Amino acid sequence: MPEQGGAQGLSRAASTAAWGGYSNGQIPASALAKVPVGVGQPYLRPDAAAAYNDFSAAFRTKFGKSLSITEAYRDLARQQALWEAYQNGTGNLAAKPGTSVHGWALACDFGSNVNNAGSAEKVWANANGPKFGWQPKGDGFSSPEPWHFEYDGSYQGSGSGSDKATDEDMRLIQSGGRGIAAIGPGYFFQLPEGEFVSQATEIWGDPFIGNDRQFDLWRAIVLQGTTA
């Protein structure tokens, strides 16, 4: 599925440093690691691939299925084709060639129901993906793309799934002025109202309820290890 384009796409791509001396969308397969994909080139940057494998292993433990990838690395020719289709009105929104994070082999469009906003799989992926360096960047697009995640380099895993985190680390917290959030070691995710909350409570149980000061304290402890 095409990535968000426009100025937002440019700024995100600009913040993703080139690596290995390669250009966006022109990275040789020999510099990449293979991953299973639905369409396009079956590759990611090696550290992103290892992080994906651990992320998928944790996903499989939770849902009994692998975390499928619709598309990962996108070479310049494919990005050009998507861009031209978007420009002539025959395709979906796509980033300008040379600006896509897919072109750095650092983005994935996930399936396995993660592509459906508000699903249990999407809620879990949003809460757990950052543990593996996979950020749900597509949620912030002007036209949200729940399937689109980007690897930020923060997780260096084995790729075997042996380093995976568990749901035992996650909790929900709530206060009258702050709403509901999922927290875990080094992680905080503010939950939107509605289906996100109902799915999260099915996964992690009822939230711990406190006042706003306690909520801020819990958030500070999991993020910084300090008091608010």
User: Quick check: 178 and 216 in contact, CB under 8 A?
Assistant: yes
Q: What is the mean pLDDT of each run of 10 residues along the chain (228 residues)?
A: 43 51 91 90 92 92 93 93 90 84 94 95 94 93 90 77 55 88 76 74 82 87 59
Strand order in the sheet with 187-190: 187-190, 179-184, 171-175, 208-209
Residue type, 223: L
Q: What angle do CA 148, 36, 195 make, to 5 degrees?
A: 35
**If you ran DSSP here, which 8-state letter would residue 38 be given?**
S
Positive/negative CA dihedral, 98, 99, 104, 107: negative
State the residue for tokens 């406190």. Answer: 210
pLDDT of residue 225: 55
What pLDDT shows up at residue 200? 76
Of 103, 95, 134, 104, residue with least CA distance to 9: 95
The alpha carbon of residue 118 and the mean position of all alpha carbons in its chain are separated, in whole angstroms, by: 15
Amino acid at site 121: E
CB-based contacts of 189, cutoff 8 Å, min separation 6? 126, 127, 130, 181, 182, 183
Judge whether 125 and 136 are in contact, CB under 8 Å: yes
Q: What local confidence, expressed as pLDDT, does residue 9 receive? A: 39
pLDDT of residue 60: 92
Q: How far apart are CA 224 and CA 164, in angstroms?
A: 21
What is the pLDDT, as a whole number, of residue 91?
80
Q: Which among 193, 58, 209 has a CA at the least distance from the CA of 127?
A: 58
Please say whether the beta carbons of 91 and 85 come within 8 A: yes
pLDDT of residue 12: 41
> Of 85, 100, 86, 87, nearest to 23 (Cα)?
100
